[in-house]
C-alpha cells in the first residue's frame, strides 16, 4: 500500500512494528494462566478481535519521540492495553452488550461472572507490569487513571437518563471513561523516557484532548455513522444515553421537544420513528454541528500541545492522528 494513503494509525503501526510485536508477545505471555484456562480463552477473544491497539501505540510513540531506548515502554504499553481490555469486559456487562467489534461479547459467549473476574485478573496483571518498571511515578499515573476510569463509569451511571445533565458533567464522564487512559498512555511514555516536565505535561495535554475529541466523535457517529465506522446507527439513543449532541438539543428544546426527550430518554418509552425525530430535532438546533465544532476545538488543543515536543516523524504522525479523529465525521 502507498504510504501516502495510509491512515495515521497505520503509519504509527508501521513505524512502531517491532515494538508492537514485543507488546503483543508480552500480552500473550501475561494473559496466560496455569490454573484457570478460561482466563486466556476470554482474554484472547477480545484481544484477537482486531482492535487498533491505539492506546499502547500512544505510549510507544511518546517514549520513542522523547528518545527512549530502554525496554520498559513495552511493559507500559502492555499495561495500558490490559487496563483498556479490562474496562471493555466490565463495560459490556454493565451495558448488557451482545456485540463488540462485530463479534459476540465475552459475557454473551461465557457469562457475566467470567467477564468481571477476567477483567479483574487483567487489572491485577497490569499492576504487576507497572511495578516491573521500578518507577513510582509511573505507578502513580496509571493507578490514578484506573481510579478515574472507574469514577467516570459510575458518574455516567448516575447521570444516565437525567435530562438535567450538563455539558460539564458530560465532559467529566468522557474524561474519565476515555480521555484518562489516553492521557496516562502518553504521559507515562514521556516519564519513562526521562523527558522534561514541560514535555511530560505536553504529552498529558495531547492525550487528554485527543481522548475527549475521540469520544465526542464516537458519540456523533452514533447518529451519523455507517457500517464502515463500526457503529450501529441509533444504539446510544436506544440505550437512552445522554451524549453531547442530545445534551445540546435538550438545552435548546421547546416544550414539545422537551416532552419528546422526557418520553424517549428519561422514561424510555420509545416507538417507531423516534430515532428519526430525535435526529430531526438535533438538526433543527444545529446540535450535531456544534458538537463537531467542540471536537475540532479539542483536536486543535491536542495539536498545539505537541509543539513543545522535538521535531520528529512520530510527532507528525501524532498530529495527523488528531486530524484523522475528526475526519471520520466530515
pLDDT digits (tens, 9 = 90+) for 254-288: 999 999 999 999 999 999 999 999 999 999 999 99
* Contacting residues for 119 by C-beta, under 8 A, at least 6 apart: 85, 86, 87, 89, 90
242 φ, ψ to 5°? -90, 85
* pLDDT over 80 at 139, yes or no: yes
SS3 state at 227: helix
Predicted local distance difference test score (pLDDT) of residue 313: 95
Predicted local distance difference test score (pLDDT) of residue 95: 66
Q: Cβ(177)–Cβ(153) under 8 Å?
A: yes
66-80 b/e with 16+ CB inside 10 Å = b? bebeeebbbbbbbbb
* Contacting residues for 15 by C-beta, under 8 A, at least 6 apart: 61, 313, 314, 317
In this structure, how many other beta carbons lie within 10 angstroms of the beta carbon of residue 17? 10
Mean pLDDT of 291-314: 96
Give 180: exposed, middle or buried? Use CB within 10 Å, 0-12, 13-18, 19+: buried
Chain segment 70-79, per-residue pLDDT in tens: 899 999 999 9
Predicted local distance difference test score (pLDDT) of residue 303: 97
Rounded-to-integer distance, Cα 327 and Cα 156, Å: 27
Mean pLDDT rounded to a whole number for the chain? 88
The number of angstroms, rounded, from the C-alpha of 248 to the middle of its chain's C-alpha atoms is 22
Mean pLDDT of 157-166: 88
The alpha carbon dihedral of 316, 319, 323, 328 has a sign of: positive
Amino acid at each position: 500500500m502507498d504510504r501516502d494513503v495510509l491512515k495515521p494509525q497505520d503509519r504509527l503501526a508501521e513505524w512502531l512494528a517491532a515494538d508492537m510485536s514485543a507488546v503483543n508477545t508480552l500480552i500473550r505471555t501475561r494473559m496466560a494462566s496455569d490454573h484457570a484456562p478460561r482466563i486466556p480463552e476470554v482474554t484472547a477473544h477480545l484481544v484477537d478481535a482486531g482492535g487498533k491497539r491505539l492506546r499502547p501505540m500512544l505510549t510507544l510513540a511518546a517514549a520513542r519521540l522523547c528518545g527512549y531506548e530502554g525496554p520498559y515502554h513495552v511493559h507500559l504499553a502492555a499495561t495500558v492495553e490490559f487496563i483498556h481490555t479490562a474496562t471493555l469486559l466490565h463495560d459490556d456487562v454493565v451495558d448488557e452488550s451482545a456485540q463488540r467489534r462485530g463479534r459476540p461479547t465475552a459475557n454473551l459467549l461465557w457469562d457475566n461472572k467470567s467477564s468481571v473476574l477476567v477483567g479483574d485478573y487483567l487489572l491485577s496483571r497490569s499492576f504487576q507490569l507497572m511495578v516491573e518498571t521500578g518507577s513510582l511515578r509511573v505507578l502513580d499515573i496509571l493507578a490514578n487513571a484506573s481510579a478515574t476510569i472507574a469514577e467516570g463509569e459510575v458518574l455516567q451511571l448516575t447521570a444516565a437518563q437525567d435530562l438535567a445533565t450538563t455539558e460539564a458533567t458530560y465532559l467529566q464522564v468522557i474524561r474519565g471513561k476515555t480521555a484518562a487512559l489516553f492521557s496516562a498512555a502518553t504521559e507515562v511514555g514521556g516519564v519513562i523516557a526521562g523527558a522534561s516536565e514541560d514535555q511530560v505535561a505536553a504529552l498529558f495535554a495531547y492525550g487528554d484532548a485527543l481522548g475527549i475529541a475521540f469520544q465526542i466523535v464516537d458519540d456523533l457517529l452514533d447518529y451519523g455513522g455507517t457500517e464502515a465506522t463500526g457503529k450501529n446507527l441509533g444504539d446510544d439513543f436506544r440505550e437512552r444515553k445522554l451524549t453531547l449532541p442530545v445534551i445540546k438539543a435538550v438545552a435548546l428544546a421547546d416544550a414539545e421537544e422537551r416532552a419528546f426527550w422526557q418520553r424517549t430518554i428519561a422514561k424510555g418509552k420509545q416507538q417507531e420513528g423516534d430515532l428519526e425525530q430525535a435526529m430531526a430535532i438535533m438538526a433543527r438546533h444545529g446540535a450535531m454541528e456544534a458538537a463537531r465544532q467542540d471536537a475540532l476545538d479539542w483536536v486543535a488543543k491536542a495539536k498545539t500541545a505537541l509543539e513543545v515536543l522535538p521535531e520528529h516523524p512520530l510527532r507528525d504522525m501524532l498530529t495527523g492522528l488528531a486530524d484523522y479523529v475528526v475526519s471520520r465525521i466530515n
